[in-house]
Amino acid sequence: MTLQNLRIAAGAIVLFCVLLPAHAVTWTVRSEPARLVNGAPLLFRVKPPAKLDSLSGTWLGHQLTFSYDAATRTWFALAGVGIETAPGKYTLELTGARPSPKPPLNFSRSFTVARATYPKIKVELTVEKKFTEPTPEQLQQIEEGKKVKQDYFNRVTPDREWSGAFTTPAEASISDVFGSQRIFNGVAQSPHQGLDFRVPAGTPVAAMNNGTVLLARPMYFEGNFVVLDHGQGLLTLYLHLSEFKVKEGDVVKRGDVIALSGGTGRTTGPHLHVAVRWQGTYLDPARLMQLSLP
Ligand SMILES: [Zn+2]
């Protein structure tokens, strides 16, 4: 290196230090809640070291699109940990786009996922035989229902429609929590993928957040079924309804009455089963309602 080049290099280093004060070169990345467990939704909050045009990330194989919260000057994205995720360390990879010609900024941070304790109480339930031993005709209806769900559930809308906290769909006590192990007619089922509210038939059911009605139709297991799309792969599902108050394509606001509860589909009696689906994974609705969201 010539003396001339050395001077230029030294000058560049000085300039670099002036332009990038020490406090601004680090990322702040945190999760709410701080303790992550399988089956739980969470909010990532990110403070990047520079102004970004957009921020995206990957987490447990999912794509995250962050929104900017001007009030706290942070980027946020709702995400989750699937109930089947084993305890361990998992990495959140971030890519921030900057105005051209600046190169994107990358950052990664690992988070520890602990094992949640879900009730192991085995509940003996009796449902009609058609739900545990369906006939070939009923199997065909079940298959059709599966196809509808596969088709609609995978239509991820890129824009976020939810805003602020998710609120309860019914003012009622909980009759079964997320993650519990259930037995139907002596046959063990997969863990309970939703939250059950003890409500008589005909109780108004409210939208948990802003969204668009993705499905409002009768299904084999779900009974009369409403699914709201809150954007970016986040859905809320309302099962066993007696009456629809919305139709597919309707835009709803948090708290709007979307249906009346009932006892249709695979159920032992009238109640409201609510589920939260995020990019193919079911998350605990109770934990989602506990999150304070921007
Ligand atoms: Zn349920």
List, as ranges, residues with CB under 5 A of the ion ligand 1: 194, 196, 273
CA 176 to ligand 1 center in whole angstroms: 7
CA 274 to ligand 1 center in whole angstroms: 7
CA 125 to ligand 1 center in whole angstroms: 12
Q: What is the pLDDT of residues 99-145, one digit of tens each?
A: 989 999 999 999 999 999 888 766 666 677 888 788 999 999 999 99
Q: Which amino acid is at 7?
A: R
CA 256 to ligand 1 center in whole angstroms: 22
CA atoms within 13 A on the CB side of 124: 1
Cα–Cα distance list, 78 to 51, 91, 254, 268 (Å): 21, 16, 17, 33
Structure tokens belonging to residue 206: 């409210």
Give the angle 78-246-251 at the CA atoms, nearest 5°.
45
How far is residue 62 CA from its own chain's centroid? 11
CA 271 to ligand 1 center in whole angstroms: 8
CA distance 100 to 98: 6
CA 169 to ligand 1 center in whole angstroms: 14
Cα–Cα distance list, 45 to 35, 72, 157, 258, 289 (Å): 14, 10, 22, 31, 18
Question: What local confidence, expressed as pLDDT, does residue 133 receive?
Answer: 85
Block residue for tokens 């699914």: 227
Q: State the virtual CA torsion across 141, 145, 148, 149 in degrees, nearest 10.
A: -170
CA 193 to ligand 1 center in whole angstroms: 7
CA 192 to ligand 1 center in whole angstroms: 6
In degrees rounded to 5, what are phi and psi of residue 233? 85, 10
CA 40 to ligand 1 center in whole angstroms: 17
CA 196 to ligand 1 center in whole angstroms: 5
The DSSP secondary-structure symbol of 245 reads: S
CA 118 to ligand 1 center in whole angstroms: 14
Question: What local confidence, expressed as pLDDT, does residue 24 receive?
Answer: 54
Name the 3-class secondary structure at 177: coil
CA 114 to ligand 1 center in whole angstroms: 24
CA 238 to ligand 1 center in whole angstroms: 10
CA 140 to ligand 1 center in whole angstroms: 23
Pairing outcome for strands 174-176 and 195-197: antiparallel
CA 15 to ligand 1 center in whole angstroms: 61
CA 195 to ligand 1 center in whole angstroms: 5
Question: What local confidence, expressed as pLDDT, does residue 123 receive?
Answer: 62
For residue 58, the surrounding DSSP H or E stretch is strand 54-59
Per-residue pLDDT of the chain (294 residues; tens, 9 = 90+): 445 555 555 544 444 444 544 445 799 999 999 999 999 999 999 999 999 999 999 999 999 999 999 999 999 999 999 999 999 999 999 999 999 899 999 999 999 999 998 887 666 666 778 887 889 999 999 999 999 999 999 888 889 999 999 999 999 999 999 998 877 667 777 789 999 999 999 999 999 999 999 999 999 999 999 999 999 999 999 999 999 999 999 999 999 999 999 999 988 899 999 999 999 999 999 999 999 999
CA 236 to ligand 1 center in whole angstroms: 13
CA 175 to ligand 1 center in whole angstroms: 9
